[in-house]
Structure 1
Amino acid sequence: MKNFALIGAGGYIAPRHMKAIKDTGNNLLSALDKHDSVGILDSYFPAANFFTEFERFDRHLEKLKRQGTAIDYVSVCSPNYLHDAHIRFGLRIGADVICEKPVVLNPWNIDALLEIEKETGKNIYTILQLRLHPAIIALKEKVAAAPANKRYAINLQYITSRGNWYHASWKGDLQKSGGIATNIGVHFFDMLMWIFGPVKENHVTLHTADTAKGNLVLEKANISWMLSIDANTLPEAVKATGKRTYRTLSIDGDEFEFSEGFTELHTKSYEEIIGGKGFRIQETRAAIELVHNIRNAK
């Protein structure tokens, strides 16, 4: 049984990590969040020690270490701009780190973290759960088996409506979240490059606080993409149903369906990481470079 600490216990994604830790037969000893709306801990690890101040969390983990209880993994679910610092903290206390995407906001941050990995002898892993989705694995195999000169036409639209709270939170701050393409798009871009190869051309046609659009030329695909949190961008047919989310990925005009099968992918990610086969920080570089370039495109 491995011992875990969790940073960012009050966030949207944290319960998936709690479930993954429990489902893999491991234990969450300690959790941190500056907000105390963390009753979800009762569903998974009611005995976990919880802190709202980083300094007390740090002191507690240090005390455990001196008593002979090491933290094997630190799971990082904090806001995007804090990932870098929280990863460093995990490595410094002698733990491996599992970090939500995006691991960092800028490509050069990866280089610095790789250096600290070497210094500490510990590893940084990230959650790229789309790469573990059976339908996506099958698509990658199909593309790999196709003729080398085969090119695909892809249309990606992902609209996940958010209320006014979004812009008042860290997610609405470009410096903290990296903007729309980073915050809600980085895992889609990673998936597309994993399947269709590296970026040849990147054209951004719109980038606002609510919506981003562009065209990508990858090694094996031409991609038109749109990401938005603005409910006004929903297709009329979707609005009529009262739904606030719309996702479509078409390949050569045919809908590619991968809406199901997401619930267990964090647990699968943890199984891979604990088994020594998780996705390392270097694997995220291409997607981090792309969303950085999208964010800074004119």
Structure 2
Amino acid sequence: MSALTPSPLRVAIIGAGQVADKVHASYYATRNDLQMVAVLDSHLDHAKAFANRHGTKKAYQDLQTLLREAKPDIVSVCSPNRFHYEHVMAALEAGCHVMCEKPPAMNPKQADEMRLAARKAGKVLAYDFHHRFAQDTQLLRDAVQSGTFGEIYVTNALALRRCGVPGWGVFTNKALQGGGPLIDIGIHMLDAAMYVLGFPKVKSVTAHSFQRLGTSKSSGQFGEWDPKTYTVEDALFGTIEFCNGGILRLETSFALNIREQSVMNVSFCGEKAGATLFPAHIYNDVGGELHTLLKRDEADDQRHIRSMDAFVRHVQGEPVMIADAEQGLVIQQLVAALYESSEKRERVALC
């Protein structure tokens, strides 16, 4: 290789599951300036099969051995939620930039320690909150900044499934996941909403959660599960109150008797106009008639790619937006407050 051409950045992936396969490895393979050199999984046979599929040199079962031998520059953390903290911290300590799947960790204390470790190491720590990278999301964020809506005082974030309990992995295991639909799918719409709003300061949180269906059913849209080992919530409904007086209402479920099979969207109500996010549609009322200010026909399906691309470009020094450790901590704090409120059945103050 020419002395003028930098060597490709070395990439390792922790966790050989679906998101690592379909998103992280698939994206890294499209770039000539990156080289996948290692993969780790708690099941070595899974790691070896993953390595064979993607032409990765080495498969590992021990993280410290991987970091010592493969010497990656970038690490993707795609392990179960329970292990995000230890895997991110080890990678940062080894001098790696890190792209971590959501949620950041199991609790705000861990997320804060990860944030501080990235700052101390001078490395990029990003989270794959990919819905904020849809063109729809950026269009609405730009509209907020330009004053199109005036003050937004009501936001509704929905991440609902009628019977979409994941029948694979550890999604029904609270000890390994930290929770159910809130920490799995609700967190995505929460991040998208907070990003569009510009991360306003939060005053308080109230929430109610329910476990009525997952422990009595055993199959649904995404396969089968064991109701005897189902330890997460079916659904959670929360209200976040901002210091500016506005509110964000969040509804999320794995199982809920609703008409639609799935709903993943956010709506915004402002003084001058309102909007829905996917696909982006901005509107107001003129004389009792709906007046459209902006409308996209289809939601953007390249958001995963844009999320990964932004991370790599940020690692390479470009000042592009990423879902960074600071914002990841805020989202983790909100998730924790929603769970705390639902468990205690009381309001949780955050300022």
For this structure pair, what is the TM-score category when the shorter chain's length is used for normalisation? 0.7 to 0.9
Q: Equivalent residue for 1:46? A: 55
Which of 204, 216, 223 matches 2:248?
223
* More helix by percentage: 1
Code of the aligned partner of 1:268: D
Shift of 1:14: 4.1
Q: Equivalent residue for 2:3? A: none
Q: Using the alignment, how far apart are the partners of 1:134 and 1:220 within structure 2?
A: 28
Structure 1, unaligned runs of 5 or more: 65-69, 239-243
Q: Equivalent residue for 1:195? A: 196
Q: Equivalent residue for 1:249? A: 266
Code of the aligned partner of 1:249: V
Q: Using the alignment, how far apart are the partners of 1:19 and 1:164 within structure 2?
A: 22
Q: Number of paired residues?
A: 279
Please tell me whether residue 84 in structure 1 is matched to residue 92 in structure 2: no
Q: Equivalent residue for 2:292? A: none
What percent identity do the matched residue pairs reach?
20
**What secondary structure sits across from 1:158 in the alignment?**
strand
Structure 2, unaligned runs of 5 or more: 1-7, 212-232, 280-298, 345-351
Q: Equivalent residue for 1:162? A: 164
Change (3 A) 1:216 1:29: same
Change (3 A) 1:153 1:92: closer
Q: Using the alignment, how far apart are the partners of 2:12 and 2:72 within structure 1?
A: 7
**What secondary structure sits across from 1:29 in the alignment?**
strand
Change (3 A) 1:37 1:281: same
TM-score by length of 2: 0.70
RMSD: 2.7
Deviation digits for residues 71-101 of structure 1 (CA, Å, limit 9, x no counterpart):
1011101111111100111122221222111
- Structure 1 window deviating more from structure 2 (149-158 vs 80-89): it is 149-158
Change (3 A) 1:145 1:76: same
Deviation digits for residues 8-29 of structure 1 (CA, Å, limit 9, x no counterpart):
1124454201122122331110
Please tell me whether residue 260 in structure 1 is matched to residue 296 in structure 2: no
Q: Using the alignment, how far apart are the partners of 1:40 and 1:113 within structure 2?
A: 27
Change (3 A) 1:188 1:13: farther
Which of 64, 73, 80 matches 1:58?
64
- Structure 1 window deviating more from structure 2 (175-184 vs 73-82): it is 175-184
**What secondary structure sits across from 1:5 in the alignment?**
strand
Native 8 Å contact 1:125 1:273 kept in 2: no
Q: Equivalent residue for 1:4? A: 11
Change (3 A) 1:296 1:97: same
Change (3 A) 1:190 1:121: same
Aligned residue runs from structure 1 range 269-284, under 5 A: 269-276=310-317, 277=319, 278-284=322-328
Q: Using the alignment, how far apart are the partners of 1:9 and 1:93 within structure 2?
A: 21
Q: Equivalent residue for 1:140? A: 141
Change (3 A) 1:60 1:32: closer
